[in-house]
Amino acid sequence: MKTRLREVPVEEAVGLALAHDLTQIIPGQFKGRLFRKGHVVTEEDIPKLLDIGKAHIYVLELGEGDLHEDDAALRLASALAGDGISFGEPSEGKVTLKAERRGLAVLDEAFVRSVNRIGDIVLATVRRDQVLQPGGAIAAVRAIPLIVPERKIAEAEALAADWRARHGSAPLAVRPLRSVRAGLLVTGGEVYSGRIKDKFGPAVRAKLEALGSTVAEQRFAPDDRQRIVTEIHYLLGRGYDMILVTGGMSVDPDDRTPGAIREAGADIVSYGTPMLPGSMLLVGYFGNVPILGLPGCVMHDPYTSFDVLLPRILAGDRITREEIAGMGYGGLLHG
């Protein structure tokens, strides 16, 4: 049987089932489903349908080889979703894939492009390595026409199966974040002496806690290289998973932090990150323990190079020089 789609004037539609969800949009107030697919039209529905601009409805008999938009979207979602992702019912032809846990978005730009080349179906995603909170959307899939040739979904499923065969995992997933205990060293004579109140400590603490980690201990040092080195060694000795040193990261004579981190014996991956704010950030390692030098902007700006790199470290990635070099493209968050 071939698919049959019949247009019926709404005045004659009482008793017929809607072939798809119907959307209402009232700017500033509402956007969503007014009628659900399968809803049987009643006399009272007629003015509501006319209000949203529907003078006709479709009556659909689906033929072989064709899929309804909702089923197409559901099949696509199942083909794509991997670890840490769940999805619910389709709504208005769309299925949203959501993170089940806090983590990083795993996806590949070329793969997303290949799915979107097929046509009639769309896959929109967040960017790779974006932080997702539980329930946050990683992707949405939608059929564009009401009726989608099944072969298009089969093509997308084949791409997903090929991806799984080559990578051993689904094309979309959420990587969990480790919960680390960080040692924090706040530098700056003006803070150490009590001239001004420490604002860096609370800011860094809040950023870690938002990702499920903690500042286990906070220390203070004046702008003295040797004192900073001593405090870094103290925090290393305490066995923390990560060392964070704040302030003194730029070019003034009192900016001792980069030199102290080097002198403490860290392998410096890079000092200088091609991202603004956060260009004066330093990344290094003591063995497997990352050490980051955090410039002043991390304290007052909610999104800096630190906020890009921290989740990567928590996901277990080792940051390389090459990766830092890659941050410049799109890295001008604000000048």
Ligand X SMILES: Nc1nc2c(c(=O)[nH]1)N[C@H]1C(S)=C(S)[C@@H](COP(=O)(O)OP(=O)(O)OC[C@H]3O[C@@H](n4cnc5c(N)ncnc54)[C@H](O)[C@@H]3O)O[C@H]1N2
Closest separation between CB of residue 104 and ligand MOO, Å? Answer: 23
- The CA distance from 46 to 31, in Å, is 20
From 276, 286, 323, 333, residue interacting with ligand MOO (rule: CB under 6 A): 276
H-type alpha helices, 238-283: 257-263
Here the tokens at position 281 are 């950030």
From 99, 143, 173, 280, residue interacting with ligand MOO (rule: CB under 6 A): 280
Residue among 284, 283, 279, 275 at smallest CA distance from 295: 279
- The CA distance from 320 to 30, in Å, is 46
* 257 near ligand MOO, rule: CB under 6 A: no
Strand partners, 142: 94, 122
Closest separation between CB of residue 325 and ligand MOO, Å? Answer: 16
Q: Where are the beta strands (DSSP E) in 280-328?
A: 282-286, 289-294
Cα dihedral 33, 37, 42, 43 in deg (nearest 10): 60
Rank residues 214 and 250 by Cβ distance to ligand X and give the closer one: 250
**Residue 135: count of CB within 10 angstroms of its CB:** 11
- The CA distance from 272 to 70, in Å, is 49
From 82, 84, 188, 290, residue interacting with ligand X (rule: CB under 6 A): 188
- What letter does residue 11 receive in the DSSP assignment? G
Q: In what order do the strands lie in the sheet with 131-132?
A: 131-132, 103-106, 173-176
Residue among 73, 68, 107 at smallest CA distance from 88: 73
From 159, 208, 249, 291, residue interacting with ligand X (rule: CB under 6 A): 249
Report 189-228 residues binding ligand X (CB under 6 A): 190-191, 196, 198-200
Closest separation between CB of residue 255 and ligand X, Å? Answer: 5
The mark string for 252-291 relative to ligand X (x by CB under 6 A, - otherwise) is ---x-----------------------xx-----------
From 169, 179, 226, 250, residue interacting with ligand X (rule: CB under 6 A): 250
Rank residues 140 and 186 by Cβ distance to ligand X and give the closer one: 186
Here the tokens at position 72 are 């197409």
**Residue 71: count of CB within 10 angstroms of its CB:** 16
The amino acid sitting at 263 is E
Closest separation between CB of residue 319 and ligand MOO, Å? Answer: 16
Report 64-123 residues binding ligand MOO (CB under 6 A): none
Closest separation between CB of residue 281 and ligand MOO, Å? Answer: 6
196, with CB counted inside 10 A (0-12, 13-18, 19+), is exposed
Closest separation between CB of residue 256 and ligand MOO, Å? Answer: 16
Report 282-321 residues binding ligand MOO (CB under 6 A): 295, 297
Closest separation between CB of residue 264 and ligand X, Å? Answer: 17
Closest separation between CB of residue 304 and ligand X, Å? Answer: 8
Binding partner of residue 191 among ligand MOO, ligand X, none, CB under 5 to 8 Å per kind?
ligand X
- Structural contact between residues 323 and 270, judged by C-beta atoms closer than 8 angstroms: no
Binding partner of residue 186 among ligand MOO, ligand X, none, CB under 5 to 8 Å per kind?
ligand X
Contact positions toward ligand MOO, by CB under 6 A?
Answer: 276-280, 295, 297
Contact positions toward ligand X, by CB under 6 A?
Answer: 186, 188, 190-191, 196, 198-200, 246-251, 255, 279-280, 295-297
